[in-house]
């Protein structure tokens, strides 16, 4: 399997909603702000910023998202009685409804949850090793991803071809792709998906990225971190993935929009965590809402 299996212990606390909106967040190099609807919390987080329960493999919500041990707490001090009530919770976010029978919501949760958890860890600037550059620095502005049914449809078309060399870019307009071939069929879709994501992300630790996070033409030529950089690119907000069992391998692809890997731009702008987010839009996990 690859050393990437060490990533498989990641907790999937996030889930997504399908999003096909055209959003154009501002450029951190120009100090812009995101354009588009603001959301009070966002998929995967509750009012206190804590992760909500993910969707189960059949698409049903687990746990209901309500606080545990809920209800009022009663206590007395002498003859005075006080009562505190847990804050109300928001209604559950809608489940993805992409209409693709080859992928269930459990797998969508794996794809989106791993991406957002890894982006969150990177944005905090505390744990992600960048080979000879030490710990990767924190991000001033990195958006939380949302799941896109359009992106998934392109990813499904991509992997259904079982062409390990990939398809031409015109087959997925508006998106950039990461693809992965796992040369075994002795696993399942979830295992293949996790292996792909862990392999792409491991490029940061294996090859490293300069501490200012500037992406150069040489990075394209070398091709060493171009899959990690798409996962980490600050304004890649739309994500959709698919995984296919081919004759003797599993084929995984993820589509990213706007896409990232733009020469002479930053993977993300280095700075104090969430300092580039619009006021009140930091999600408590070092990612910005949009």
pLDDT in tens, 68-114: 333 333 333 444 444 444 444 444 445 667 999 999 999 999 999 99
Per-chain mean pLDDT for the chain = 78
User: Is residue 144 within 8 Å of residue 290, measured between CB atoms?
Assistant: yes
- Residue range 241-250: average pLDDT? 97
- At residue 253, the 3 state secondary structure works out as strand
Q: How high is the pLDDT of residue 124?
A: 98
Residue 131 to residue 138: CA distance in whole angstroms: 16
* pLDDT at residue 245 is higher than 60: yes
Q: Domain spans of the chain?
A: 37-57+92-290
Whether the CB-CB separation of 177 and 254 falls below 8 Å is answered with yes
Residue with more model confidence, 24 or 108: 108
Half-sphere exposure of 165 (CA within 13 A, CB side): 1
pLDDT range class, residue 46, cuts 50, 70, 90 = very low
pLDDT digits (tens, 9 = 90+) for 138-173: 999 999 999 999 999 999 999 999 999 999 999 999
pLDDT, position 97: 77
What are φ and ψ of residue 36, in 5° steps?
130, 180
- For 236, residues 6+ apart whose C-beta sits below 8 A from its C-beta are 143, 145, 230, 256, 257, 258, 259, 260
Start-to-end Cα distance in the chain: 36
What is the reported pLDDT for 72? 36
Fold classification of 37-57+92-290 is Pathogenesis-related Protein p14a (3.40.33)
């Amino acid at each position: 399997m690859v050393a990437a299996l060490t990533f498989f212990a990641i907790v999937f606390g996030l889930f997504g909603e399908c999003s096909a909106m055209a959003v154009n967040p501002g450029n951190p190099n120009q100090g812009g702000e995101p354009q588009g609807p603001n959301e009070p919390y966002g998929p995967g987080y509750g009012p206190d910023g804590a992760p909500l329960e993910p969707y189960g493999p059949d698409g049903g919500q687990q746990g209901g998202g309500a606080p545990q041990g809920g209800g009022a707490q009663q206590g007395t001090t002498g003859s005075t009685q006080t009562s505190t009530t847990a804050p109300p919770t928001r209604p559950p976010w809608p489940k993805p409804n992409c209409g693709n029978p080859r992928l269930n919501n459990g797998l969508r949760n794996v794809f989106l949850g791993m991406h957002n958890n890894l982006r969150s860890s990177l944005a905090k600037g505390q744990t992600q090793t960048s080979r000879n550059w030490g710990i990767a620095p924190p991000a001033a502005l990195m958006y939380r991803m949302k799941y896109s049914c359009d992106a998934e449809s392109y990813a499904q078309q991509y992997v259904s071809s079982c062409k390990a060399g990939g398809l031409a870019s015109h087959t997925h307009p508006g998106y950039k792709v990461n693809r992965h071939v796992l040369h075994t069929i002795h696993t399942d879709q979830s295992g293949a998906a996790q292996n792909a994501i862990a392999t792409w992300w491991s490029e940061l630790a294996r090859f490293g990225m300069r501490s200012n996070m500037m992406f150069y033409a040489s990075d394209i030529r070398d091709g060493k971190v171009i899959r990690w950089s798409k996962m980490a690119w600050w304004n890649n907000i739309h994500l959709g993935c698919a995984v296919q069992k081919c004759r003797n391998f599993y084929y995984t692809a993820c589509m990213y929009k706007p896409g990232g890997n733009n020469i002479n731009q930053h993977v993300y702008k280095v700075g104090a965590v969430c300092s580039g987010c619009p006021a009140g839009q930091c999600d408590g996990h070092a990612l910005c809402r949009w």
